Amino acid sequence: MCVVSGRRLDVLRTLQESGEPLSIGEIARRLSVHVNTARFHLEALTGTGQAELVETQPNGPGRPPLKYRAHRGMDPAGPRNYRFLADILTAELAETPDPSATAAEIGRRWGARSTVPPERPMTTAQSVAWLTRMLAELGFEPEPGHGEISLRNCPFLDVVEPHNRVTCGLHLGFMQGAVERAGAALEVTELIPFASPYRCQVAYRPSRRASSG
């Protein structure tokens, strides 16, 4: 999160209250600051997505001055509370007749939607490597083993309790949908939460698509 305060906040508020884009010089005059000060804060606000450059048409010889406006819409660098959203959704899923099955089905659909199949068929070993990479990209810190992949981290740990049937079901379904969409030569059969005090465990087996390797 990027908190804006002091002179930078003054620059941002000036852009937001203006009905039209402003040049560096115009902002400097309105705030009675040096143009370099205005430029410094404008570049910072542009970097965080809170301000943006606007193309202007020349009205005389030479290049037109750079003009800026505030990002249109809510502050892209403002505070977020995705934990609250996750709590709402997991709590609602937990109230369904079979939370694990419902969550797994949702996860399976999302796993299939978000997976791009590889160009060539994979062997079982290649499929395990592919699944391990995917889990690493999601933040699970996986370690492959014989017939299982250990997960040293859960990127959604904050919402696992008290709704572990939902979150673990989502994870399991996501993996199952992903490997099926990828045509992987394995099947994810089980996700064992906290198989040890420090890890969860993904169990898999070769599928009927499996070939040697």
The domain limits of the chain are 6-70, 99-206
pLDDT score of 2: 56
- The CATH fold assigned to 99-206 is Muramoyl-pentapeptide Carboxypeptidase; domain 2 (3.30.1380)
pLDDT score of 211: 52
pLDDT score of 99: 94
pLDDT score of 4: 64
What span, in angstroms and rounded, lies between the C-alpha atoms of 148 and 48? 42
pTM of the model: 0.68
Q: The tokens of 212 are what? A: 């040697």
What span, in angstroms and rounded, lies between the C-alpha atoms of 86 and 154? 14
Cα dihedral 117, 120, 123, 127, rounded to 10, equals -30
Please identify every stretch of the chain with a pLDDT value under 50, giving residue numbers as ranges: 1, 212-213
How many secondary structure helices (H) and strands (E) does the chain include? 7, 7
Secondary structure class of 38 (helix, strand, coil): helix
pLDDT score of 213: 45
Decide whether 6-70 matches 99-206 in CATH topology: no
Its CATH architecture, for the domain 6-70, is Orthogonal Bundle (1.10)
What span, in angstroms and rounded, lies between the C-alpha atoms of 193 and 200? 5
